[in-house]
Structure 1
Amino acid sequence: LFQYHKSIGFLVLTLAVPRLLWSLFSRRPRAFEGEGLVSRLAARVAHAALLFLTLAVPLAGWAVASTSPLQIPSYVFDLIVVPALPMAISDQAEAFWTEVHATLAYLAAIIVFFHVIAALWHHFIRRDPTLRRMIPYLAPADNERGASPQK
């Protein structure tokens, strides 16, 4: 099970790099009219945190495997062996990176939970097209509900 866990982590890390680049070089969605500054700021902070965590969580996991005195090789879906990071090997380093990995993973889960809650709040309470534009085949037209450029 640990090898599958590590395989998924390496897959997430591999997919997170182009996702981060896409985010850096793509246009931001427009804010809807009436969308407050706090809401826009919260969305930006949550998105930045999620982008950071999709890189940081797998990297911290890789650090756990790299610093473990057991030195068990990491096989990605039994296809390739991923080399260890050049880090000091010790029980203390492994314990530290295990704590970092777990803390970041739980933080990511909490942010995802609140992100889902916010999307549902926009959909069912505010009744704006935020959730629909997050789902590509349900995306509203740009001019729906008076969208204006985000600053």
Structure 2
Amino acid sequence: MPNVLLFNSDSSKPPFLAGEVSIGMIWNGEAWMAREENPAIQYVYPKEGTSFWVDSFVIPQGARNPKGAHAFINFMMNPEVAKTCVEEYGYPTPIKPAIALLDSKISSSRTIFPDSEIIKQGEFQNDVGQAIEIYQKYWEKLRTGK
């Protein structure tokens, strides 16, 4: 704990860009954007494996405007829009026609699009259900040192 500078759950790129940290956890999209500002920043997948996740668009049951929600999702799935999102935010897209539109610097980036070997070593982040309370308890202990 004496060497921990901060625990951050929002944007983790500012300490890297400010040179306040030399190693730490950062999401791949944040790392891509940080590296665009400072090419010395490197993103490394741990050799032991990494965790993967999926951000999803969903329409809750009882949504007030499901037609608008479907229109938004359809808009976001447009290859040109999906391409722009990858370029702006550094996170991958599953929209194959969008990937084909990307500059090769982006489409070949292992930071954004990890190769099959990295994916094979990783594990998908699943919902832990009620165990979340245990995770939260120990996260607070870690953060507060108590």
Normalised by the length of structure 2, the TM-score is: 0.24
Larger radius of gyration: 1
Would you tell me which structure has more helix in proportion to its own residues?
A: 1
TM-score (norm 1): 0.24
